[in-house]
Amino acid sequence: MKKDVYADKRFDIQTEKAIDVKILEAIPFEYAGSETEVVYETDEFTSVCPWSGLPDFGAITITYMPEKKLVELKSLKYYLTSYRNVGILQEHAVNRILKDLVKLIQPQYMTVAAEYKERGGIWTRATANYEKE
């Protein structure tokens, strides 16, 4: 009987501690009360499956209405890139991003949506929402 060559196959996986929250910066929003909706999109988001280490590729859309602060874009790019080798479920990634960004800028509302590329015949779409009380 042939040994299962995949039984011990695993890639290095970082924990969520590798997510670089400290890199995130907020900048002042000078038009408070203007009901400006801000949308950031990238189709280059990557993380890895926490069990196999195989990559997950997705598009992330962040939509929010700022109150007093905006997310500084360079810091957002570095923050999202820090997920590259993190083992995190797709549904958890959108919630983690939402939590970190809401804490940073305290918007009126925010939605983080992800559409992951097909793997094993299944596409995943996950959306997390926040609305200020």
**Residue 34, φ and ψ in degrees, nearest 5:** -85, -5
Tokens coding 83: 């997920």
Q: Which residues pair with 39 in a beta bridge?
A: 63
- Is 43 catalytic? The answer is no
8 is catalytic: no
Q: Please identify which of the residues 4, 43, 49, 100 carries the catalytic annotation.
A: 49
Find, among 73, 84, 96, 14, the residue nearest to 44 by Cα.
Answer: 84
Active-site pick, 8, 20, 56, 100: 56
**CA torsion through residues 14, 100, 38, 78, sign:** negative
Token pair for 2: 């042939």
Whole-angstrom Cα distance, residue 41 to residue 25?
18
Instruction: With beta carbons less than 8 A apart as the criterion, state whether 94 and 74 touch.
Output: no
Q: Active-site residue numbers?
A: 49, 56
